[in-house]
Structure 1
Amino acid sequence: MVHLSLLLLVSAAAKSALAVSPYVDLGYSQYLGTAQSNGITSWWGMRFAAPPLGNLRFRSPQEPVYNETLQIANTHGLLCLATGGSPTDPTTSEDCLFADVYAPSNATAESKLPVFIWIQGGGFNANSNGNYRGDGMILASGMNMVVVTFNYRVSLYGFLASQEVVANGNTNVGLLDQRFLMQWVQKYIAAFGGDPGHVTIGGCSAGGASITFQLTAYGGRDDGLFHAAAAESASVFTILTVEQSQYQYDALVARVGCNTTADTLACLREVNATTLQANNYNIPYPGLGPNASAPLFMYDAVIDGDFVQDFSQRQFAEGNFVKVPAIYGDDTNGGTDFAPQSTANYSQMDQFLIDNYPTMTPDQITAFNYMYPEDMEFFNGTGAFWRTASNAYGELAYLCPGMFVSTAYATYSTLGSWNYRYNVEDPTQMAEGYGVPHTVETAAIWGPQYVSSTPPASYWPNGTNAGIVPVMQGYWTSFIRSYSPNTYRAPGSAVWQEWVPTTQNRIMVMTNATAMETVDINEQARCAYITANSVYWEQ
Structure 2
Amino acid sequence: MARAFLPCIPLILYVSSACAQDSTTSSASASPTNPTVALDQATVNGVSASGVQQFLGIPYASPPVNELRFAPPQPVASYNGTINATTFGYSCPQQNASLTSSFFKLPDQEGTVVTMKVDQRWADVDFDDDEAPPENEDCLTLNVMRPENTTQSSNLPVVIWIVGGGFETGTTQYSAEDDAKLVQRSTQLGQPMIFVSMNYRVSGWGFLSSQETKNVNGTNVGLKDQRTAIEWVNKYIGNFGGNSSRVTLWGQSAGAISSSLHMLHNNGNPDGLFHGAFMQSGAPIPVGNYTGGQPWYDQLVNQTNCTGSGDTLDCLRKVPYEEMKTVINRTPSYYSYLSLDLVWVPRADGDFIADNPQRLVEEGSVANIPFVSGNVADEGTVFALSSLNVTSDDEFREWLKFSYMSDVPDQNVSDVMELYPSDPSAGSPFNTSIFNAITSQYKRSAALQGDLVFQAPRRFFVQQRSGDQPVWAYQDSRGKYTPFVGAYHSSDLTKMVLNDYLIRFVNNLDPNNGTGPDWPKYDNSSKQIYWFTSDNDNTGVEISTDDYRVPQMEYLTNLSLAYPL
- TM category, shorter: 0.7 to 0.9
Kindly indicate whether residue 353 of structure 2 is the aligned counterpart of residue 341 of structure 1: no
Aligned residue in 2 for 1:6? none
Kindly indicate whether residue 167 of structure 2 is the aligned counterpart of residue 124 of structure 1: yes
Opposite residue 270 of structure 2, the aligned amino acid is D
Contact map agreement 2:207 2:222 (CA 8 A) in 1: yes
Quick one: structure 1 residues 322 and 30, their matched pair in 2 at CA, closer, same or farther if it must change by over 3 Å? same
From 389, 413, 418, the equivalent of 1:365 is: 413
Q: State the SS of the aligned residue for 1:75.
A: coil
Contact map agreement 1:35 1:41 (CA 8 A) in 2: yes
State the Cα deviation string for residues 174-214 of structure 1 (Å, max 9, x = none): 01011100100011111211100000001011111101210
Q: State the SS of the aligned residue for 2:478.
A: coil
Aligned residue in 1 for 2:20? none
Contact map agreement 1:327 1:417 (CA 8 A) in 2: yes
From 481, 499, 507, the equivalent of 1:473 is: 499
* CA distance in structure 1 between the partners assigned to 2:266 and 2:66 by the alignment: 28
Say which is worse superposed, 193-202 or 293-302, in terms of deviation. 293-302
Opposite residue 312 of structure 1, the aligned amino acid is P
Quick one: structure 1 residues 389 and 260, their matched pair in 2 at CA, closer, same or farther if it must change by over 3 Å? same
From 12, 16, 38, the equivalent of 1:25 is: 38
* CA distance in structure 2 between the partners assigned to 1:125 and 1:264 by the alignment: 23
Opposite residue 47 of structure 2, the aligned amino acid is T
Kindly indicate whether residue 474 of structure 2 is the aligned counterpart of residue 420 of structure 1: yes
Identity of aligned residues (%): 28
* CA distance in structure 2 between the partners assigned to 1:111 and 1:145 by the alignment: 10
Opposite residue 441 of structure 1, the aligned amino acid is D
The residue correspondences of 1:354-393 to structure 2 (distance < 5 A) are 354=401, 355-373=403-421, 374-376=423-425, 382-393=438-449
Aligned residue in 2 for 1:515? 542
Contact map agreement 1:120 1:130 (CA 8 A) in 2: no
Kindly indicate whether residue 124 of structure 2 is the aligned counterpart of residue 98 of structure 1: no
Aligned residue in 2 for 1:166? 214
Equivalenced residues, count: 483
* CA distance in structure 2 between the partners assigned to 1:306 and 1:393 by the alignment: 28
Deviation at 1:267, TM superposition (A): 0.7
* CA distance in structure 2 between the partners assigned to 1:49 and 1:283 by the alignment: 28
* CA distance in structure 1 between the partners assigned to 2:418 and 2:41 by the alignment: 59
Deviation at 1:320, TM superposition (A): 0.7
Deviation at 1:302, TM superposition (A): 1.6
* CA distance in structure 1 between the partners assigned to 2:453 and 2:550 by the alignment: 15
Q: State the SS of the aligned residue for 2:274.
A: coil
Contact map agreement 2:380 2:446 (CA 8 A) in 1: yes
Opposite residue 184 of structure 2, the aligned amino acid is L
Say which is worse superposed, 137-146 or 92-101, in terms of deviation. 137-146
The residue correspondences of 1:453-468 to structure 2 (distance < 5 A) are none
Aligned residue in 1 for 2:484? 433
* CA distance in structure 2 between the partners assigned to 1:128 and 1:282 by the alignment: 21
Quick one: structure 1 residues 431 and 246, their matched pair in 2 at CA, closer, same or farther if it must change by over 3 Å? closer
Q: State the SS of the aligned residue for 1:148.
A: strand
From 509, 512, 523, the equivalent of 1:486 is: 512
Q: State the SS of the aligned residue for 2:382.
A: coil
State the Cα deviation string for residues 433-465 of structure 1 (Å, max 9, x = none): 100001211122xxxxxxxxxxxxxxxxxxxxx
Aligned residue in 1 for 2:58? 46
* CA distance in structure 2 between the partners assigned to 1:362 and 1:304 by the alignment: 29
Deviation at 1:246, TM superposition (A): 1.9
Contact map agreement 1:333 1:434 (CA 8 A) in 2: yes
Deviation at 1:425, TM superposition (A): 1.3
Deviation at 1:235, TM superposition (A): 5.6
Contact map agreement 1:359 1:536 (CA 8 A) in 2: no
Aligned residue in 1 for 2:278? 230
Contact map agreement 2:283 2:373 (CA 8 A) in 1: no
* CA distance in structure 2 between the partners assigned to 1:75 and 1:497 by the alignment: 42
From 508, 529, 538, the equivalent of 1:506 is: 529
Q: State the SS of the aligned residue for 1:216.
A: helix
State the Cα deviation string for residues 88-116 of structure 1 (Å, max 9, x = none): 97622211111111101111111111100
Opposite residue 335 of structure 1, the aligned amino acid is G
Say which is worse superposed, 43-52 or 524-533, in terms of deviation. 524-533
Aligned residue in 2 for 1:141? 186
* CA distance in structure 2 between the partners assigned to 1:433 and 1:129 by the alignment: 29
Quick one: structure 1 residues 366 and 28, their matched pair in 2 at CA, closer, same or farther if it must change by over 3 Å? farther
Contact map agreement 2:172 2:198 (CA 8 A) in 1: no
Q: Give me the TM-score of the superposition, normalised by structure 1.
A: 0.83
Kindly indicate whether residue 291 of structure 2 is the aligned counterpart of residue 243 of structure 1: yes
Aligned residue in 1 for 2:308? 260
Quick one: structure 1 residues 128 and 357, their matched pair in 2 at CA, closer, same or farther if it must change by over 3 Å? farther
Quick one: structure 1 residues 180 and 161, their matched pair in 2 at CA, closer, same or farther if it must change by over 3 Å? same
* CA distance in structure 2 between the partners assigned to 1:420 and 1:322 by the alignment: 20
Quick one: structure 1 residues 67 and 410, their matched pair in 2 at CA, closer, same or farther if it must change by over 3 Å? closer
- Cα RMSD for the two superposed structures: 2.7
* CA distance in structure 2 between the partners assigned to 1:33 and 1:127 by the alignment: 23
Deviation at 1:238, TM superposition (A): 5.1
Contact map agreement 1:282 1:295 (CA 8 A) in 2: no
* CA distance in structure 1 between the partners assigned to 2:448 and 2:41 by the alignment: 49
Q: State the SS of the aligned residue for 1:356.
A: coil
Opposite residue 515 of structure 1, the aligned amino acid is E
State the Cα deviation string for residues 221-260 of structure 1 (Å, max 9, x = none): 2311100011110065552322332222111101110011
Opposite residue 135 of structure 2, the aligned amino acid is T
Unaligned runs of 5+ in 1: 1-8, 14-20, 286-290, 445-468
Kindly indicate whether residue 343 of structure 2 is the aligned counterpart of residue 298 of structure 1: yes
State the Cα deviation string for residues 323-366 of structure 1 (Å, max 9, x = none): 10011110000000101234323333333333134333322221
Contact map agreement 2:159 2:506 (CA 8 A) in 1: yes
Aligned residue in 1 for 2:266? 218
Say which is worse superposed, 325-334 or 501-510, in terms of deviation. 501-510
Quick one: structure 1 residues 358 and 171, their matched pair in 2 at CA, closer, same or farther if it must change by over 3 Å? same
Unaligned runs of 5+ in 2: 1-29, 98-127, 426-432
Contact map agreement 2:155 2:241 (CA 8 A) in 1: yes
Aligned residue in 2 for 1:464? none
Contact map agreement 1:284 1:295 (CA 8 A) in 2: no
Opposite residue 34 of structure 1, the aligned amino acid is V
* CA distance in structure 1 between the partners assigned to 2:330 and 2:282 by the alignment: 22
Aligned residue in 1 for 2:125? none
Quick one: structure 1 residues 380 and 244, their matched pair in 2 at CA, closer, same or farther if it must change by over 3 Å? closer
* CA distance in structure 2 between the partners assigned to 1:238 and 1:410 by the alignment: 20
Kindly indicate whether residue 76 of structure 2 is the aligned counterpart of residue 64 of structure 1: yes
* CA distance in structure 1 between the partners assigned to 2:397 and 2:318 by the alignment: 41
Q: Give me the TM-score of the superposition, normalised by structure 2.
A: 0.80
From 84, 92, 97, the equivalent of 1:80 is: 92
Quick one: structure 1 residues 67 and 192, their matched pair in 2 at CA, closer, same or farther if it must change by over 3 Å? closer
Deviation at 1:474, TM superposition (A): 2.0
Aligned residue in 2 for 1:462? none
Opposite residue 545 of structure 2, the aligned amino acid is T
State the Cα deviation string for residues 263-309 of structure 1 (Å, max 9, x = none): 11111111111100111146589xxxxx9857652111121111101
Quick one: structure 1 residues 117 and 439, their matched pair in 2 at CA, closer, same or farther if it must change by over 3 Å? same
Deviation at 1:216, TM superposition (A): 0.4
Deviation at 1:70, TM superposition (A): 2.6
